[in-house]
């Protein structure tokens, strides 16, 4: 199977109304594992994620997958901080991405049932997605992103508004996805979560990647004083 | 006050006796307004959705014009359609003046802006909600429209019913372009105007009550058909 | 389900296109309000097999409809305007059919005492003298024109009247409703008055002066101006309208025991 990875960002900058949101950023996304992006509010984590996903217009630089963009787009998923629920039943939310690709009905049903079970919503199939709890919505959003079997999954603080139990559910699903070979890139505020999940990590500050590396070195021996301060819980101006 | 009770009584007798003339003009009212509604929806629903999701040069202007057209006085619409369809007018050869078709045309012009405008409002909200997801899922323009129309169908139904309400109760335009011809273009509203003119308030009111009942009946049955009210939690 | 609904709706809509070959005639409100049409039209349908579709409008609009070719014939009551219509080539000719009469209506207590007048002119002069509320059609209809000519005969110019003179710009029925609401004087045709259901405290106060006679004439629209008009049908309807059977129906038509119309069509 051909892979869309690696993803290479070269001198990418995003400017809006004369303000630099991120950049210049140069980094490469390898083939495996979970990359966690940490950093204070407003450091550009979400923008970086959207740039990688291809939904944020870049001002300068290049974003390049191993395959043409039009093909790469079909192999990515994205989960938003606040889950966006289609005003349909749980089942229809899961079917939706498959229907976009005209996948046969029988297979659609099979995968829908599988994923409903995996995300623990198989008893709620006919319930309107907008009536689920916050944790259930985020699980559904995750299932809906994974049901297309993306090669890369981006998550923007998926557990920001969730309680402990729901966070654990989400993390379990992510670990399972990694086992199945899904490349995951995720932003989070929660250092504990970052440590639990990360294979490697990025530290964003003022729109640039301040520090990056394999998880162990990143968390146990941070190089920059800003990252040390961040781990201590200081406010970084 | 007495007139109102007389009207209610007269309405009751008209209905229970299946007055053939009443049935005829009621059906014609429905026929004209539902016909206009179908055409208007065919134009206004895609137009309103399009305005919500596409950015183009004259979009704001189009929306302003649409909102202004919503307040268009039906009499003016009637007069313009009349002049256009008159034998001496540009479309005179079609011989459409004083036919139900002319009434449908006038009503399409009256209710299309209303439906399009409500559609645009509703679709704009839904699009704001769905925007990121649909972009992220890499949907085509057509898939977006389909998704919005399907998930916004309740709002679209509301838009259509608003259009129906405006059409079924409208008298100014259809009086002018239809001519209120007995057995040909007489509908409930023009019959009410006629009976009021004759000073027969009881009959006019009776027809009015039938009209109200008809409007409520259509609303309820459309909601029932689409089962929108059953899903609601409250 | 949606398919069935749309098919039904489509059927409903396209069924509307089925009217075309009927005969359209513009008539005045007063003619329609008299109820005579309900007697004549079924007879025409039975004798000739023609569906006469009536457009009930004021004389002014009836003439406009004829000029535009939107109707096949007109039946109105305003001689000067009719003759102009024929002279300008819009109508083939003018055929007098029948007449009814105008009556002066007013509040039962009759403050201007027009019931005691000896002529229509005197009645209007009495009204002009004390300026009670007066409702005018104000819609350029035959009745309106008649009213204005009567004011002129009586030595008044309606254009300079004060606020007591109210031009409502409406049909006969609506104007009578207004007069009933205001307890005002009004000029009406007898037929509309007799058929009017909301008389309130109004009463017929003066009638009978020959100057109040209201001649109805039939004018086919000229096919030279509008090739599509059904002049053939117009001729048939005319022939019927001046026939003895029409005369019988017109002369015997009564409301509350009162005869409304007098047939007076001349042989050609």
| Binary contact (B231, A128; C-beta < 8 A) | yes
Residue B39: partners with Cβ closer than 8 Å, 6 or more residues away: B104, B108, C13
What is the mean predicted confidence (pLDDT) over B208-230?
Answer: 81
Residue A117: partners with Cβ closer than 8 Å, 6 or more residues away: none
Which class for C102: exposed (0-12), middle (13-18), buried (19 or more C-beta within 10 A)?
buried
Using CA atoms, how far apart are residues B74 and B64, in angstroms rounded to an integer? 19
* DSSP-H helix ranges across A54-86: 69-72
**B92-96, B167-171, B194-198, C214-218: segment of lowest average pLDDT:** B194-198
Using CA atoms, how far apart are residues C63 and C76, in angstroms rounded to an integer? 9
Per-residue pLDDT tens listing for chain A (237 residues): 568 888 998 988 899 888 888 878 889 888 888 999 999 888 889 999 999 998 888 899 899 888 888 888 888 999 998 899 999 999 999 999 999 988 899 999 999 999 999 898 889 899 999 999 988 999 999 999 999 889 999 999 988 888 888 899 889 999 999 998 899 999 998 889 999 999 999 999 998 898 988 988 899 988 888 899 888 888 876
pLDDT bracket for residue C15 (50, 70, 90): very low
For the CA atoms of B42, B176, B167, B59, the dihedral, rounded to the nearest 10 degrees, stands at 50
ipTM tops the 0.90 cut? no
Question: Which residues of B fall within a CB distance of 8 Å from A128?
Answer: 231
Q: Closest approach of chain A CAs to the CA of B129, in angstroms?
A: 7
- For the segment C124-151, what is each residue's pLDDT rounded down to a tens digit? 999 999 999 999 998 888 888 899 999 9
**Residue C17 confidence (pLDDT):** 41
| Binary contact (B86, C70; C-beta < 8 A) | yes
Q: Closest approach of chain A CAs to the CA of B186, in angstroms?
A: 43
Q: Which of residues 144-163 of B touch A (CB under 8 A)?
A: 147, 151-152
From the list A58, A39, A29, A66, the residue with the least C-alpha distance to A153 is A29
From the list C129, C96, C111, the residue with the least C-alpha distance to C215 is C96
Using H for helix, E for strand and C for coil, what is the string for B10-61?
A: HHHHHHHCCCHHHHHHHHHHHHHHHHHHHHHHHHHHHHHHHHHHCCCCCHHH
Q: Which of residues 108-147 of C touch B (CB under 8 A)?
A: none
Indicate the residue of B132, B137, B151 with minimum beta-carbon distance to A97.
B137
Asked whether the predicted pLDDT for residue C18 surpasses 70, the reply is no
Instruction: Express as a percent the part of chain C with pLDDT over 90.
Output: 49
Is any Cβ of chain C less than 8 angstroms from the Cβ of B100? yes
Question: Which residues of A fall within a CB distance of 8 Å from B139?
Answer: 100
Using CA atoms, how far apart are residues A1 and A9, in angstroms rounded to an integer? 23
Residues C77, C245: contact at Cβ < 8 Å? no
Bridge-based pairing state of the strands C23-28 and C52-57: parallel
**Residue C20 confidence (pLDDT):** 37
Question: Which residues of A fall within a CB distance of 8 Å from B125?
Answer: none
* Whole-number Cα distances in Å, B108 to B25, B189, C250: 19, 17, 42
Question: Which residues of A fall within a CB distance of 8 Å from B137?
Answer: 96-97, 100
The secondary element (H helix, E strand) that includes residue A146 is helix A134-146
- Give the gyration radius of chain B's Cα atoms: 20
Question: Which residues of C fall within a CB distance of 8 Å from B194?
Answer: 56
**Residue C16 confidence (pLDDT):** 43
**Residue A236 confidence (pLDDT):** 75
| Binary contact (B225, C180; C-beta < 8 A) | no
Is any Cβ of chain A less than 8 angstroms from the Cβ of B68? no
Chains in contact with A, where contact means 3 or more Cβ–Cβ distances below 8 Å, are B
pLDDT bracket for residue C6 (50, 70, 90): low
Residues A127, A178: contact at Cβ < 8 Å? no
Using CA atoms, how far apart are residues B37 and C199, in angstroms rounded to an integer? 40
Mean pLDDT of chain C: 86
Q: Closest approach of chain A CAs to the CA of B59, in angstroms?
A: 23
* Helix (H) and strand (E) counts in chain C: 11, 12
pLDDT bracket for residue B75 (50, 70, 90): very high
| Binary contact (A100, B139; C-beta < 8 A) | yes
| Binary contact (B130, A84; C-beta < 8 A) | yes
**Residue B212 confidence (pLDDT):** 92
pLDDT bracket for residue B228 (50, 70, 90): low
pLDDT bracket for residue C19 (50, 70, 90): very low
Asked whether the predicted pLDDT for residue C220 surpasses 90, the reply is yes
- For the segment C74-97, what is each residue's pLDDT rounded down to a tens digit? 999 888 889 999 999 999 999 999
Chain centroid offset of residue C247 CA: 19
Asked whether the predicted pLDDT for residue B227 surpasses 70, the reply is no
* Whole-number Cα distances in Å, B167 to B31, B105, C30: 11, 11, 29
| Binary contact (B133, A86; C-beta < 8 A) | yes
């Amino acid at each position: 199977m051909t892979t869309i990875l690696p993803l290479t960002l070269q001198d990418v900058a995003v400017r809006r109304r004369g303000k630099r949101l991120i950049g210049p950023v140069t980094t490469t996304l390898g083939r495996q594992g979970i990359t966690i992006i940490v950093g204070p509010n407003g450091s550009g984590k979400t923008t970086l994620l959207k740039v990688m996903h291809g939904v944020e217009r870049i001002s300068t630089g290049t974003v390049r997958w191993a395959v043409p963009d039009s093909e790469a787009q079909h192999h990515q998923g994205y989960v938003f901080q606040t889950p966006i629920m289609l005003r349909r039943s749980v089942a229809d939310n899961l079917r939706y991405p498959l229907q976009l690709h005209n996948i046969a009905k029988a297979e659609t049903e099979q995968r829908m049932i599988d994923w409903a079970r995996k995300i623990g919503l198989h008893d709620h199939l006919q319930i309107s997605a907008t009536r689920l709890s916050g944790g259930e919505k985020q699980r559904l959003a995750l299932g809906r992103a994974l049901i297309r079997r993306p090669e890369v999954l981006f998550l923007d603080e998926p557990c920001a508004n969730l309680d402990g139990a729901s966070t654990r559910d989400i993390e379990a699903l992510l670990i399972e996805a990694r086992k199945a070979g899904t490349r995951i890139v995720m932003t989070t505020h929660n250092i504990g979560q970052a440590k639990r999940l990360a294979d490697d990590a990025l530290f964003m500050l003022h729109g640039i990647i301040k520090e990056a590396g394999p998880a162990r070195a990143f968390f146990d021996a941070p190089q920059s004083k800003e990252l040390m301060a961040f781990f201590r819980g200081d406010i970084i101006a | 006050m007495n007139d109102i009770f007389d009207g209610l009584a007269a309405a009751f007798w008209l209905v229970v006796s299946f007055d053939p003339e009443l049935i005829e003009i009621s059906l014609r009212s429905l026929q004209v307004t539902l016909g206009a509604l179908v055409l208007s929806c065919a134009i206004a629903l895609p137009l309103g959705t399009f305005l919500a999701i596409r950015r183009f040069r004259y979009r704001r202007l189009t929306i302003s014009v649409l909102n202004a057209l919503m307040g268009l006085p039906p009499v003016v619409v009637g007069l313009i359609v009349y002049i256009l369809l008159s034998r001496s007018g540009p479309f005179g050869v079609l011989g459409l003046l004083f036919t139900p078709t002319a009434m449908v045309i006038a009503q399409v012009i009256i209710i299309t802006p209303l439906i399009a405008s409500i559609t645009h409002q509703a679709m704009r909200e839904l699009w704001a909600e769905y925007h990121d997801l649909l972009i992220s899922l890499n949907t085509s323009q057509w898939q977006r429209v389909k998704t919005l129309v399907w998930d916004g169908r309740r709002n679209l139904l509301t838009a259509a019913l608003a259009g129906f309400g405006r059409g079924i109760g409208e008298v100014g335009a259809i009086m002018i372009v239809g001519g209120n011809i007995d057995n040909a273009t007489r509908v409930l509203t023009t019959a009410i105007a006629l009976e009021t003119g004759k000073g027969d308030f009881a009959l006019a009111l009776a027809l009015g009550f039938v009209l109200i009942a008809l409007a409520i009946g259509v609303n309820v049955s459309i909601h029932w058909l689409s089962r929108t009210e059953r899903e609601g939690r409250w | 389900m949606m398919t069935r609904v749309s098919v039904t709706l489509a059927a409903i809509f396209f069924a509307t296109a089925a009217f075309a070959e009927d005969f359209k005639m513009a008539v005045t409100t007063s003619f329609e309000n008299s109820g005579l049409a309900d007697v004549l039209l079924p007879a025409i349908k039975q004798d000739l097999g023609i569906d006469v579709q009536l457009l009930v409008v004021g004389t002014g609009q009836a003439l406009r409809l004829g000029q535009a070719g939107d109707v096949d014939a007109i039946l109105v009551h305003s001689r000067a305007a009719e003759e102009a219509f024929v002279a300008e080539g819009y109508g083939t000719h003018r055929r007098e059919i029948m007449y009814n009469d105008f009556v002066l209506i007013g509040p039962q207590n009759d403050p201007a005492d027009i019931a005691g007048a000896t002529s229509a002119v005197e009645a209007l002069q009495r009204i002009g003298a004390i300026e009670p509320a007066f409702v005018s059609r104000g819609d350029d209809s035959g009745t309106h024109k008649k009213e204005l000519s009567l004011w002129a005969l009586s030595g008044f110019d309606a254009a300079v009247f004060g606020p007591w003179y109210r031009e409502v710009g409406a049909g006969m029925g609506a104007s009578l409703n207004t007069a009933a609401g205001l307890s005002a004087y009004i000029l009406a045709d007898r037929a509309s008055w007799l058929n009017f259901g909301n008389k309130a405290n109004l009463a017929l106060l003066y009638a009978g002066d020959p100057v109040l006679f209201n001649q109805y004439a039939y004018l086919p629209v000229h096919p030279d101006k509008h090739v599509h008009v059904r002049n053939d049908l117009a001729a048939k309807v005319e022939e019927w309208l001046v026939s003895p059977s029409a005369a019988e129906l017109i002369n015997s038509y009564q409301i509350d025991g009162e005869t409304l119309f007098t047939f007076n069509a001349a042989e050609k």
